[in-house]
Amino acid sequence: MSEPNNEPMLQVHNLAKRFEGIVATDNLSLDVAAGELHAVIGPNGAGKTTLIAQLSGQLMPDSGRVWFAGNDITQLPMYRRSALGLARSFQITSLFRDLSVLDNVALAVQAHAGHSFRFWRDARAEPQLREPGRALLARVGLAERADWPASALSHGAHRQLELAMALAGQPRMLLLDEPMAGLGPEESARMVEMLRALKRELTILLVEHDMEAVFALADRITVLVYGRVIATGSPADIRANAQVREAYLGEAEAEGADHG
């Protein structure tokens, strides 16, 4: 679907954000090509989640610009960005815990099915909402648990549900904030497979700590340290980059050695 053109799907130009003197995002520029899976990595506190929050509209930057699919979205509220096709998943699972699993996805479908000033018909009996909802659950492997309350799902299943909800609006681009966080090795592997399947259809910006997953999936990687981009390139470039090794990968490898 995504025809090759030179215009990036997402363009970030000189983005800056401070919190009471602490620089969270420091003149950050970045672009993500259509159809690309672009990973953003960096040590804790590098400003990855703050970046996602500004891209999704949860936080407004102090300065800088963000373009998405040719639109300047710098000042748009969250719901408008979502309507343009920019969907986001959350690092800390953020669901409607007191609604059923299917209700959760059906709400996400409803968000993209016109306005919701419809006061009378039973929304749980509308096939236009329920059927796409069930299809999405099947896609992420949750079909059998459709009627469970969302709060009863395991952590791994929550992440799958998150993904189903992000996909509900048939977005052009996904912002994924640590989709593997807290997953066991088996669940992680399944999530990597799911993302691999998705990356052909959509543009993805992936913030992730799991280096194995990042290097397996990413077309390009951007490394953040203290809110600043210190390197952008292919996985091979990043692996070879001395500055990155010093700032980040060394630490990660040491961690990996501990675990291994």
Give the interface with other proteins as residue ranges (CB under 8 A).
56, 58, 77-79, 82-83, 87-88, 90, 94-99, 103, 106-108, 110-112, 116-124, 126, 129, 165, 168-169
Q: Which is nearer to other proteins, 109 or 221 (CB)?
A: 109
Q: Which is nearer to other proteins, 78 or 236 (CB)?
A: 78
Query: Which helix (H) or strand (E) element contains residue 166?
Result: helix 155-167
Whole-number minimum distance, CB 87 to other proteins, in Å?
A: 8
Separation between Cα atoms, residue 123 and residue 121, nearest integer Å: 6
Whole-number minimum distance, CB 149 to other proteins, in Å?
A: 11
Separation between Cα atoms, residue 144 and residue 102, nearest integer Å: 10
Q: Which is nearer to other proteins, 146 or 211 (CB)?
A: 146
Whole-number minimum distance, CB 169 to other proteins, in Å?
A: 6
Q: Which long-range contacts (CB under 8 A, 24 or more apart) does 163-166 make?
A: 163/89, 163/191, 163/194, 164/105, 164/108, 164/136, 164/137, 164/139, 164/140, 165/89, 165/95, 165/104, 165/105, 165/107, 165/108, 165/136, 166/87, 166/88, 166/89, 166/108
Whole-number minimum distance, CB 111 to other proteins, in Å?
A: 4
Q: Which is nearer to other proteins, 86 or 192 (CB)?
A: 86
Whole-number minimum distance, CB 141 to other proteins, in Å?
A: 20
Separation between Cα atoms, residue 116 and residue 97, nearest integer Å: 21
Q: Which is nearer to other proteins, 103 or 210 (CB)?
A: 103
